[in-house]
Structure 1
Amino acid sequence: MSASEIGLPMAVPARNLPERVRIHEVGPRDGLQNEKNAVPTEVKAEFIRRLAEAGLTTVEATSFVHPKWVPQLADAEALFPQVKDLPGVRLPVLVPNARGLDRALALGADRIAVFASATESFAKANLNRTVAESLAVFDPVVARAKEEGAHVRGYVSMCFGDPWEGAVPLHQVVSVCRALTDMGCDELSLGDTIGVATPGHVRELLAALNEAGVPTSSLGVHFHDTYGQALANTYAALEHGVTTVDASAGGLGGCPYARSATGNLATEDLVWMLRGLGIDTGVDLGRLVATSEWMAGRLGRPSPSRTVRALSHKEQ
């Protein structure tokens, strides 16, 4: 039976691309944080379990932020114990400050993420601090997390464009990334928060980061599909050697502090492209699509993922 007959693309490997990509699944945290109606803790836990069963080895579980700021994630203490012992799955959690780190460590979290901004406007809107002030807050958080043996990821938002400031200068992004690296972050995620990046811009930023001493091996990319550029930008990052790509099952999510931010790159759309390129992800696309359909049913609306819609239509 041909690839097209079973609903999968034919694999045609491209030269000079990674053999394997690790997908950093952000659906349970970034994907759900914007939902207006409370998603039951049991549904979130089942979502994470199903994503793990689909072969995703990194699933960002939740955020230990104050409930006032992100009410949807107010159940972090109840959720994390339900999923933390899933075999073979990394479960990063986002922490905004020392208090959030305390809460996460108390529950046994061993993969921590902090969330910085490359622009002053977004730092003020999202963190209520300047860029420098927010980095000062993260410094002891990263240090303590490392002392406790945790892996630390540093998110950098607005790496390509900002709704208030426009295009973001490369040196501005590099400065924040360099600061997070110097603090001890093991990995950085470069966020195109409002989805304005294009492939040339992606290549230039990655090259600038390398020139500043930030190795490609420590970089991941996080694209939004506002202008339909997420997969093209991902391909540009792959050509540069990036092997960690953030995505959200079903294309869920956005950003509560940037109204122009639409959905994340859908994990299914990413897996479809990578499979066609002969790049291994370890993900069972059928199971993943079924999981996103299940979650869409719980949210009461269809999945925005093109691949989910296409494969679901084939089954009807």
Structure 2
Amino acid sequence: MKKILSFIFLGFCIFIVIAGFLEKQKDFSTYFYILLFIVLGAMSIHKLRAKKEMTADKKKALARHISRNVDSYVQGGQKEAGYQVEEEFDTVNIEDAGFEEYPKFSMSYIDSSGAATKRNIILKSITLKEDKVYLNAHCLLRNEDRMFLTDRIKRIEYENEVINQPVVYFYDIFMNSDGYALYKSMENKADVFKLFIFLAKADGKIAKAETDVIVEYIKRLLPKISNKTAEGAVKDIPVISIAEFNTILKKFKKETADNADILEVYKKLYELKKTPDPLERGVYEKVMTSLQV
């Protein structure tokens, strides 16, 4: 603020000098525009100077300050970012459902208008929503991707075998899939994953390398899970509020079973960048200080 006032004062002085030369013209509108131009120019110069890169010493000092006051910094960054909220798992990819390749089914299907048709479909994924089971597949009859409600399947075959009770059959595939197992595992370790994403998104974004670190941890829990499913699961991890962040830290101080994993992943996430963001550094130091034995 002091710098801005200094620029304005300097501009005013310049204006007085110029006004002296223009005194004979008695053109007060000219004076006004000159003053306005000088003030706006001075403010623009100030903004450009403010955007210059901080020195290494200033960055370290800022990081120490954020580490001590990480609550207010991180909470503000999350409000601006507009992160998605946590949603219930509803779709399993076919590669996580026990099939080595997309399976082909033949079926008799009743469409929404009540007409019966015979369809050959290539199944890509299964969706469970509001107690209904849907097949997301490529329809060879229409040559396009369609969603089929299993309640409308009158008869279906797979490799020349008739599948009785298709609703139950595809429901069981969904519930026994690696994709659903991952969802339940992440649900059981929800607080662990929330801490991971809290650090990864402390600077308002998550890099591919940061996603890969969390995916690596997921594959330790479920080695057979596909990278695509694991990466999708990482995207669905919600960013918690600062109050929940502090509550989780207090919880893990008492329940130390997952602390070693948390510290290991935090270290990997933090060391990805040669010059970590001050916000990430603040979160990292707070967690490491709180959870280390």
Task: Give the TM-score normalised by the residue count of structure 1.
Answer: 0.23
As a proportion of its length, which structure holds more helix? 2
| Greater radius of gyration (CA) | 2
Task: Give the TM-score normalised by the residue count of structure 2.
Answer: 0.25
